[in-house]
Amino acid sequence: MKKRSSKPANRRTPKAPPVLIQWRFGLICVFIAFALVALVARAAYIQVIEPDRLRHEGDLRSVRVEQVHSARGMIEDRQGEPLAVSVPVQAVWADPVTVFKHQGLNNVERWYALADVLGLDRQALIDKIQANRKRRFIYLQRQVRPAMAAYVNKLDLPGVGLKAESRRFYPSAEVSAHLVGMTGIDGHGLEGIERRFDDWLAGEHGKRTVRKDRFGRVVEHIATEDKKEGQSLTLSIDQRLQAIAYRAIKQAVADYRATSGSLVMVDVKTGEVMAMVNAPSYNPNNRSSLKSFNMRNRAITDVFEPGSTMKPFVVLTALENGVADMDTVIDTGNGIMQIGGSRVRDVSKVGKANLARILKKSSNIGVSKLSLAMPVETLLGEYGSFGLGASTGVELVGESVGHFPSRRRWSDFERATLAFGYGLSVTPTQLARAYATLGALGINRPLSILKREGVTEGKQVASRENVYKVLQMLEGVTQEGGSARRAAVDGYRVGAKTGTAKVAVAGGYGDEYIGYTAGLAPISNPRLAMVVVINEPQGDKYYGGQVAAPVFSDVMKSALQILNIAPDAGTGPGLQVAKYASEVNRNE
């Protein structure tokens, strides 16, 4: 029996020693060296040759430019009373990307609370966030009051923040709305003074450049650009007179069921606008009820045919050109004058009368004969020299220059009607400037809506002597028997002229009327010129002497007292009006 041979257990086969392959080792070293050189070269290129790109990309991720809000300048009246001020408010904004990053919409109750405090529809707010999920900034609500902003801050919603801004507040509300105007949601002027002087009032916002970390915390202040505050503006108007004028014109519009009314008051000595109001008006503090019909500043935009308020300028032109003098007597006949196929009529028979009586009785025939006795260019030139057909100087947006007739051939009837205010159109402000020029004894000054210091230089457009004569005649119009006696003011010598004209429509005239009164006080030393216009009064009363003259009297009386202008009744001789017709005497 054979025995099996036994093999040794767990015997290991010895390994061959490693062999260094020179070419392979060298190749690896070359690659490593090449990579090291490439990295060093790339680093040198980035750090030395072209560092700006990466720096820019880094700044995009961390550098933020924040706006430093500047307050809009205040608007004041001539006494320093605020008419427009800026109050601090907050804007509520959202970053939808951040909102969705933190699953902010999951807590829907807090979003509903945000919608409720902002006065928004709950679902509409959620839909707005979802519709803009890729945007980094959207406004949720502008001009939020501080109390509401504090509540929003306590909600602690991710991606929702507050931004400081300001809101315009108008203490005088509807009283000065047409003149002062208002601003839009972004703080830029939309109407009136706010728009005309927007650059002056707005100033410039500042900028602050900062670096923030990933949590939005400021870690570095890089640069600051100082803000430039808006500058204040002092207007020429007196808010006391403005308030009185507005109440009176608003009441008149309501009493006579008129479409609208306007009043303009001018300082004769300086050309400053002391009051400019319209009714109906609007409240710029309540944007929800704004209507474009109520927002128009009719005192500078709406035009009308000035009617009989032009008659003093016809008389003045006749005196200036030697066509008539204080002793001239004009025969107006039986109150009807035939001119071609048309007729000129007087409201009442005047008969033979001098210039003062023609003006006092508002004779259309009398001024027509004066107009026909001189070239039409002479009368138009006189109208133009008193500011008609040109800008008044207030430089407000939307101002109309009216319609000034210019034609090659004039019929006698057109020349006659031009004498009592037909065939041309003016704004209430233009008419106020013309009467202020009369009050300044023929010195025409541009009007200003900004406060002026001292007496403004003007241009002498008529002789002082003849203008003074016309002023004396105007005083007679407000006395017993005159067409503007309702414009008289107790204790003061007042000169005024009323007018009534039909509303011009396409192709002719409509059935509605415009009543107005223009005048000055006190006649001994004119300080204020005023124009009152009542547009389309309803009912039996529509003449200027019925609807506009009482407003003129009430407002002028209050203005003279507020400005401490001494009464002048009985301080100067009035012109004696010739009385030729016994019938007219009985009417007086």
What average pLDDT score do residues 250-269 get? Answer: 96
User: 257-286+300-587: which CATH architecture?
Assistant: 3-Layer(aba) Sandwich (3.40)
Contact status, residue 434 vs residue 387, Cβ threshold 8 Å = yes
Instruction: Output the pLDDT for position 348.
Output: 87
pLDDT-derived band of residue 208, with 50, 70 and 90 as boundaries? confident
Instruction: Output the pLDDT for position 225.
Output: 73
Residues 320-361 pLDDT 10s: 999 999 999 999 999 999 998 899 998 889 899 999 999 999
- Give the separation between CA 223 and CA 226, rounded to whole angstroms: 10
Residues 447-496 pLDDT 10s: 999 998 877 889 999 999 999 999 999 999 999 989 899 999 999 999 99
What average pLDDT score do residues 523-529 get? Answer: 95
> How far apart, in Å, do the first and last CA atoms of the chain sit?
176
pLDDT-derived band of residue 509, with 50, 70 and 90 as boundaries? confident
What average pLDDT score do residues 216-223 get? Answer: 72
Residue 535's nearest CA partner among 294, 279, 291 is 279
Query: How much of the chain exceeds pLDDT 90, in percent?
Result: 59
What average pLDDT score do residues 421-425 get? Answer: 92
User: What's the distance, CA 310 to chain centroid?
Assistant: 28
Instruction: Output the pLDDT for position 210.
Output: 75
Instruction: Output the pLDDT for position 575.
Output: 42
Average pLDDT, the chain: 87
Active site residue 308: yes
Contact status, residue 116 vs residue 170, Cβ threshold 8 Å = no
**Model confidence at 6: pLDDT above 90:** no
Instruction: Output the pLDDT for position 166.
Output: 85
Of 505 and 418, the one with more pLDDT: 418
pLDDT-derived band of residue 580, with 50, 70 and 90 as boundaries? very low
In words, the CATH class of domain 66-234 is alpha beta
Break the chain into its structural domains and give their ranges: 66-234, 257-286+300-587
**Model confidence at 527: pLDDT above 80:** yes
**Model confidence at 583: pLDDT above 50:** no
Q: Report strand pairing: 336-339 vs 495-505.
A: unpaired
- Give the separation between CA 386 and CA 431, rounded to whole angstroms: 9
The CA-atom distances, in angstroms, between 136 and each of 93, 94, 98, 470, 493 are 10, 8, 8, 71, 70
Of 203 and 407, the one with more pLDDT: 407
Catalytic residue among 172, 262, 308, 363: 308
Residues 47-69 pLDDT 10s: 777 776 666 666 666 777 766 66
**Model confidence at 197: pLDDT above 90:** yes
Residues 294-325 pLDDT 10s: 899 999 999 999 999 999 999 999 999 999 99
What average pLDDT score do residues 1-5 get? Answer: 49
- Give the separation between CA 577 and CA 216, rounded to whole angstroms: 86
Instruction: Output the pLDDT for position 364.
Output: 94
For residue 534, list its beta bridge partners: 261, 515
pLDDT-derived band of residue 218, with 50, 70 and 90 as boundaries? confident
Instruction: Output the pLDDT for position 216.
Output: 65
